[in-house]
Amino acid sequence: MNASTVTATRETVSRHTRTFLDRHASLMPTFAAVLIFAVLLIGAQIHFGTFLTPLNMSALLLDNAYLVILAVGMTFVIVTGGIDLSVGSVMALTGIWCADLLASGHSAAVVVPLIILAGAAIGLLIGVLVQYFDVQPFIASLAGLFLARGLAFVVSLDSIRVENESVLWLQTTRWRLGEWYITPTGVLALSVALIGAFVMQFTRFGRTVYAVGGNEQSARLMGLDVARTKVAVYVISGVCAGLAGLVLTAYSGAGYPRNGIGTELDVIAAVVIGGTLLTGGTGYVLGSLIGVLVFGTIKTVISFMGAEQAWTRIIIGLMLLMFIVVQRAIVVRAERRR
């Protein structure tokens, strides 16, 4: 092979690489999250020797099922260019209300739909404030945060133990395949993620969500129902928060009004690490799932090392800064190509 042939081959490979990166630039942060997840798992296995076991990997989904559900709803909101700071407080409200109603003798068949509707109602309130009263999403969702947290303390100032077998079944049941296992809460989390991914990628509503986040004015000119979409994503986030409240209550065996403090920041970090741009228009539910698994793996590694969990915040903060820089680079590159 002569020099000219080698040069031509390199130019062809370079051209195809640039074309691929241009067409799939929005996927780069998600690919990076997958790579980081793989490196974390391999590095932990090399260091500890017993990290990649079926029990540990099964527990990774079990311990973070509620976070996966929250991340699905948050992805919808952030893709539209919004933010929802209320999810942790709504999760606490629905969890303590669920425990209180069950302790009062109400049936789980009545309680579960009721707490999900409560989450949807707070999401609807935030969506209406954002769309029809032109309140900034940060402020509107902050109001939702205070409202939900206050209502949680109204329900009870103390932890309420759950003894309802139907709710506890979600956490205590183990469906096993050898040493691997999954709980109903894990199945619920994965189902929500798959449904969210399908809606975002293959439905008219999902395409409208992307269009609103990409350019709201253009979406209006295209005849898309921007108002209904922006309200709907906050309702979806509220529904997911209500469902997460049920999952966390089943996981802990009790409702507590102080649950979920700071969880909204964990969810936002996981969604951003999974490749969703804070500016809106780009994001993937399955990427957010990977972001949650990265978050959960870091917590598990820190626990294995016997270090303070404060290091989890430090590492996630550094990763978040890195991903924001990557996202900014993608946005700048896209703007230059227009």
Using alpha carbons, select from 233, 250, 232 the residue that is nearest to residue 112. Answer: 250
pLDDT at 11 over 80: no
- Which H or E run includes 225? none
Residue 304: which pLDDT band, with cuts at 50, 70 and 90?
confident
Determine the Cα angle at 336 with ends 213 and 211, to 5°.
Answer: 15
Question: What are the sequence ranges of the domains in the chain?
Answer: 56-327
User: Per mean pLDDT, which range of 16-30, 68-82, 161-175, 234-248 is the poorest?
Assistant: 16-30
Residue 84: which pLDDT band, with cuts at 50, 70 and 90?
very high
Strands (E), the chain: 160-161, 175-177, 180-182, 254-255
Q: Are strands 160-161 and 254-255 parallel, antiparallel or unpaired?
A: antiparallel
* CA-based max dimension of the chain: 83
Higher pLDDT, 67 or 35: 67
Identify the pLDDT of residue 199: 97
Tokens of 130: 């954002």
Q: Which amino acid is at 295?
A: F
Whole-prediction pTM:
0.91
Identify the pLDDT of residue 314: 85
pLDDT at 274 over 80: yes
Query: What's the pLDDT tens digit per position in 185-203?
Result: 999 999 999 999 999 999 9
Structurally, at CATH architecture level, domain 56-327 sits in: Orthogonal Bundle (1.10)
Mean local confidence (pLDDT), 91-102: 97
Integer Cα distance of 142 and 144 in angstroms: 5
Mean local confidence (pLDDT), 302-331: 79
Mean local confidence (pLDDT), 259-276: 93
